[in-house]
């Protein structure tokens, strides 16, 4: 009987799950709440959408972790999970490519860009006149060092895991999470002291959208790594089975690479 019930394939057919429906509703509420919040209303809907999204993520990933512990993640399933993560990162690459495209379109052809304040043109130059750009060798350079260091610590954690060094894994992950929090704090300080606003001209719009979305990805990556830190302390990972950690490390290295491009093109080249 047991032999007849065993599946004759390497795939895992997941159980019926409520999370896709809950996730769709939560993301809709989050998006609508965010749009309404930009117009000074809808903060309750935004909070509900954010809470529901976090609840969905926790529940869905909990189920995936349970499937892994139950032995459902065969080598074929693990391979396809990796394919899925690679495709997700590629979609993120295209997302940031759009913002770089917008930035280069405005910076290489400033005379064609709409660079108006409420009453006057800001000139066909880049950076626009009357814009006090950031010194790239101040906080931006410090943030670059922070992210490069975090890429080193997450790689240290990965190698420690492959060698079954639990202490090194936890220490590397803890340092990476701390560096991610430090980056976010430094960027928040930088934004608070910006010499230009988001609205009124294309420079502020593309700058804050490109660097702000990267900052959002740093926050998401830090949460991703923090969850893996908790799981590492709990003893979830083995040298053979640790896709959750591997996916987080890939995502974090992607965030590092995007920042290198932002630092060079937006801060150094774009502010020259």
Task: Please indicate whether residue 158 or residue 69 has the higher confidence score (pLDDT).
Answer: 158
Give the whole-angstrom CA distance, residue 49 versus residue 28: 7
* DSSP state for residue 42 in the 8-state scheme: -
What is the pLDDT at residue 92? 95
CA-nearest of 96, 92, 95, 105 to 270 is 105
pLDDT for residue 65 is more than 90? no
pLDDT for residue 259 is more than 90? yes
pLDDT for residue 248 is more than 90? yes
* DSSP state for residue 180 in the 8-state scheme: H
Q: What's the rounded mean pLDDT across residues 125-143?
A: 87
User: What tens digit of pLDDT does each residue of 209-232 get?
Assistant: 999 999 999 999 999 999 999 999
For residue 217, the Cα-to-chain-centroid distance in whole angstroms is: 2
pLDDT for residue 3 is more than 70? no
What domains can you pick out in the chain, each with its CATH number? 1-72 (1.10.287.70), 73-269 (1.20.120.80)
Residue 146, number of CB atoms within 10 A of its CB: 23
Q: What's the rounded mean pLDDT across residues 145-152?
A: 96
Residue 127, preceding bond cis, omega within 30 degrees? yes
Percent of the chain at pLDDT > 90 equals 61
User: What tens digit of pLDDT does each residue of 24-53 get?
Assistant: 999 999 999 999 998 888 899 999 999 999
pLDDT for residue 4 is more than 60? no
Q: Is 195 helix (H, G, I), strand (E, B) or coil?
A: strand
Q: To the nearest whole number, what is the mean pLDDT of the chain?
A: 88
Give the whole-angstrom CA distance, residue 117 versus residue 74: 58
Q: Where are the alpha helices (DSSP H) in the chain?
A: 2-5, 19-37, 43-69, 75-108, 139-162, 166-192, 202-234, 243-261
Q: Minimum mean pLDDT among 13-27, 105-119, 176-190, 250-264: which range?
A: 105-119
Highest mean pLDDT among 59-73, 99-113, 254-268: 254-268
Give the whole-angstrom CA distance, residue 73 versus residue 239: 15
What is the pLDDT at residue 116? 46
Query: Residue 75: pLDDT band by 50, 70, 90 thresholds?
Result: confident
What is the pLDDT at residue 70? 83
What is the pLDDT at residue 24? 96
What is the pLDDT at residue 8? 66
User: What tens digit of pLDDT does each residue of 160-203 get?
Assistant: 999 999 999 999 999 999 999 999 999 999 999 888 877 777 88
What is the pLDDT at residue 124? 67
CA-nearest of 96, 104, 90, 97 to 265 is 104
Residue 18, number of CB atoms within 10 A of its CB: 11
């Amino acid at each position: 009987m047991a032999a007849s019930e065993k599946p004759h394939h390497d795939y895992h057919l997941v159980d019926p799950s409520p999370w896709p429906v809950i996730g769709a509703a939560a993301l809709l509420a989050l998006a609508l709440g965010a749009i309404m919040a930009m117009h000074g209303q809808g903060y309750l809907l935004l909070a509900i959408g954010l809470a529901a999204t976090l609840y969905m993520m926790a529940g869905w990933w909990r189920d995936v972790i349970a499937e892994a512990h139950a032995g459902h993640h065969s080598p074929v399933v693990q391979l396809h999970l990796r394919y899925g993560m690679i495709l997700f990162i590629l979609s993120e690459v295209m997302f940031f490519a759009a913002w770089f495209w917008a930035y280069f379109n405005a910076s290489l052809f400033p005379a064609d860009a709409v660079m108006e304040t409420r009453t006057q043109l800001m000139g066909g130059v880049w950076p626009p006149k009357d814009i006090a750009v950031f010194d790239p060798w101040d906080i931006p350079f410090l943030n670059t060092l922070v992210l490069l260091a975090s890429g080193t610590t997450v790689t240290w954690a990965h190698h420690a895991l492959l060698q079954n060094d639990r202490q090194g894994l936890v220490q590397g992950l803890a340092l990476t999470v701390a560096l991610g929090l430090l980056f976010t704090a430094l960027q928040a300080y930088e934004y608070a002291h910006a010499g230009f606003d988001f609205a009124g001209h294309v420079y502020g719009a593309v700058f804050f959208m490109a660097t702000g979305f990267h900052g959002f990805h740093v926050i998401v990556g830090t949460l991703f790594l923090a969850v893996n830190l908790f799981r590492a302390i709990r003893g979830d990972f083995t040298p053979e089975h640790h896709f959750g950690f591997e996916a987080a490390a890939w995502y974090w290295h992607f965030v590092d690479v995007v920042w290198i491009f932002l630092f060079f093109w937006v801060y150094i080249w774009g502010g020259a």
